[in-house]
């Protein structure tokens, strides 16, 4: 067993059950990529069993803080089973569920989403890469889902020294001897939504906004919103929500043509008139400016941009980008209209995001009631020891 010894004083994070050790905290020791190592304090006290990552700034990710625990196939079976069991108790009314949310589920670097009978997984750390086969078996056993697709094509893999990989990990023949496709239909808030685990973003879909999409449908009805602008719409989840809420003119803006094609398909698949929805393949910032130029306004606007700040180091530039789109959105909002505005940047905390949006309102000359604060669905949990896990934050604002 290889041993990693930390510098004096650097044991504190692991003692608080924070699962990461950065490169600068390691005094001596090493291992192969993903190898299980014993991490100890400068004076030899056991701290954790962990996966070693020779090329990452995060040199060590803890698997277990229990010295008696063995990191073997049974360990991964237990962790996966626990993650699945928690989701069952959450009683999520959908067949699209995040089953494993990395560090929060004691499996640093592993993301697994279930879409119907199909699992879609990202192995984002050297440790999860090393145990991939064992983890795949554990996932199939714990869920009964026979199909597992790998979407390890995230850029963070490069930081771990890992190449990008996609493809089936488990793909048995169907009863009629055929092979299951990567296309799947899920049910969310009573809607039918389709995705392709091979082609979609991340694992295929953004499950973290499920409850916020459901809430949006209710708010659109309650505030009698008719014209709705869904910015960064992806496949139109918030657009279908708007239609359910009684909107008559919904515009989805996204820079991905395949996502917009799906957004259009979702409108009719859920029984709404194709004519009630417009898909705009464009940059959001330019579209917002063009709408202002054209004198258009909306009863409700959703802003759900991609991660502008991957880490706190990018917070300044990202803050300006968030402020810009929020300022433009405020200008486009009818009095009494609704703004749902989000940030999924881990580097922008909830308090800072609130300040950015407040500044945007001030610049636009618009005031609003803060109706509600939003977060990710509970199947994307955070734990009390890992605040970095908190990433999605949103505000519901009603323009005065
Ligand atoms: N609201 C969506 C998820 C949005 S994810 C949902 O509920 O499913 C962010 C989206 O922003 C992606 O679909 C991506 O294609 C799009 N995007 C990224 N940069 C963009 C830009 N500059 N202009 C328009 N869309 C952009």
| CA 345 to centroid of ligand 1, rounded, Å | 14
Structure tokens at 331: 């200008």
pLDDT for the residue numbered 44: 98
pLDDT for the residue numbered 27: 98
DSSP at 308: S
Residues framing ligand 1 (Cβ under 6 A): 201, 206, 209, 232-235, 237-238, 253-256, 259, 283-284, 304, 306
**Contact predicate 145/119, CB 8 Å:** yes
pLDDT for the residue numbered 63: 98
Q: Give, using CA atoms, the residue closest to atom 12 of ligand 1.
A: 234
Structure tokens at 282: 């464009």
Say what the alpha-carbon torsion angle 175, 181, 182, 183 is, to the nearest 10 degrees: -100
**Contact predicate 346/388, CB 8 Å:** yes
Q: Give, using CA atoms, the residue closest to atom 22 of ligand 1.
A: 283
| CA 50 to centroid of ligand 1, rounded, Å | 35
Smallest CA-to-CA distance from 100 within 170, 148, 68, 146 is with 148
Task: Report helix, strand or coil for 83.
Answer: helix
Q: What is the rounded CA–CA span in Å between residue 216 and residue 205?
A: 18
**Contact predicate 114/95, CB 8 Å:** yes
Residues noted as catalytic:
344
| CA 232 to centroid of ligand 1, rounded, Å | 3
Local mean pLDDT, 10-residue blocks, the chain (400 residues) = 96 96 97 98 98 97 98 98 98 97 97 98 98 98 98 95 97 93 98 98 98 98 98 98 98 98 98 98 98 98 94 89 98 98 95 97 98 98 89 97
Structure tokens at 360: 């945007």
Prediction pTM value = 0.97
Say what the alpha-carbon torsion angle 375, 378, 383, 388 is, to the nearest 10 degrees: -40
pLDDT for the residue numbered 386: 86
Smallest CA-to-CA distance from 211 within 99, 97, 303 is with 97
Q: Give, using CA atoms, the residue closest to atom 18 of ligand 1.
A: 306
């Amino acid at each position: 067993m290889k041993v990693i010894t930390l510098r004096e004083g650097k044991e504190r994070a692991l003692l608080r059950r924070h699962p990461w050790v950065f490169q600068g905290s390691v005094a001596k020791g090493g291992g192969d990529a993903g190898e299980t190592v014993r991490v100890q304090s400068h004076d030899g006290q056991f701290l954790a069993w962990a996966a070693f990552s020779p090329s990452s700034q995060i040199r060590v990710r803890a698997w277990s803080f229990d010295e008696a625990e063995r990191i073997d196939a049974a360990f991964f079976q237990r962790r996966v089973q626990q993650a699945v069991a928690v989701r069952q108790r959450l009683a999520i009314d959908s067949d699209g569920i995040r089953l494993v949310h990395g560090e929060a589920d004691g499996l640093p670097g592993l993301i697994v989403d279930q879409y119907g009978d199909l699992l879609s997984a990202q192995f984002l750390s050297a440790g999860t890469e090393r145990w991939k086969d064992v983890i795949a078996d554990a996932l199939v056993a714990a869920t009964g889902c026979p199909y597992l697709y790998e979407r390890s094509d995230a850029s963070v893999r490069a930081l771990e020294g890992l190449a990008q990989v996609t493809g089936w990990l488990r793909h048995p023949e169907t009863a009629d001897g055929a092979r299951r496709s990567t296309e799947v239909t899920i049910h969310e808030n009573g809607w039918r939504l389709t995705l392709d685990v091979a082609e979609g973003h991340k694992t295929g879909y953004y499950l973290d906004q499920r409850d916020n999409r459901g809430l949006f449908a209710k708010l659109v009805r309650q505030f009698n919103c008719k014209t709705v602008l869904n910015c960064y719409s992806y496949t139109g989840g918030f657009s279908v929500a708007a239609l359910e809420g009684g909107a008559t003119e919904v515009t989805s803006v996204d820079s991905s043509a395949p996502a917009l094609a799906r957004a259009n398909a979702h409108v009719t698949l859920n029984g709404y008139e194709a004519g009630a929805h417009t898909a705009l393949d464009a940059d959001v910032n330019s579209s917002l400016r063009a709408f202002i130029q054209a004198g258009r306004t909306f009863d409700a606007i959703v802003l759900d941009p991609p991660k502008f700040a991957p880490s706190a180091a990018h917070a300044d530039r990202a803050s300006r980008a968030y402020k810009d789109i929020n300022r433009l959105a405020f200008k486009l909002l009818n009095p009494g209209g609704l703004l749902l505005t989000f940030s999924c940047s881990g580097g922008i905390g909830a308090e800072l995001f609130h300040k950015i949006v407040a500044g945007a309102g001030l610049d636009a000359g618009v005031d609003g009631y803060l109706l509600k604060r939003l977060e990710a669905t509970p199947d994307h949990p955070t734990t009390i020891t890992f605040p970095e896990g908190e990433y999605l934050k949103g505000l519901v604002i009603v323009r005065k």
